[in-house]
Amino acid sequence: MIKTTLLFFLTALAEIVGCFLPWLWLKKGASALLLVPAALSLAAFVWLLTLHPAASGRVYAAYGGVYVVTALLWLRWVDGVRLSYSDWLGAAVAFCGMLIIVAGWGKA
């Protein structure tokens, strides 16, 4: 379970970086050269999703819970926005959903 969770966090980070770099280019006037590492990051994101042993739909569903947590941590650390109680509560619910889905992988 720990290995799967860490892999999901790494996957989410690759997706967020792959989306954030073009955002910097489009919204903040950063160099279009950021599209190269963005594409590589998104390719890594796709590859990382294939490393899970479950069917793709289950992987995507479980990954969503970790993505929510990772995106909120990004919001806090990169964007500098203080998280609210509802942010933390939503993250906890999403993360618990991921744990429930992953716990059932071997039983399906």
d(CA 23, CA 1): 33
Q: What would you report as the CA-atom Rg of the chain, rounded to the nearest whole angstrom?
A: 15
* Domain total in the chain: 1
The whole domain housing 57 covers: 2-107
Q: Are 68 and 94 in contact (CB under 8 A)?
A: yes
Q: Does residue 61 come out as left (phi exceeding 0), alpha (psi in the -120 to 50 range) or beta?
A: alpha
pTM: 0.88
* pLDDT tens digits along 68-105: 999 999 999 999 999 999 999 999 999 999 999 988 88
Residue 108: band (very low, low, confident or very high) from pLDDT cuts 50, 70, 90? low
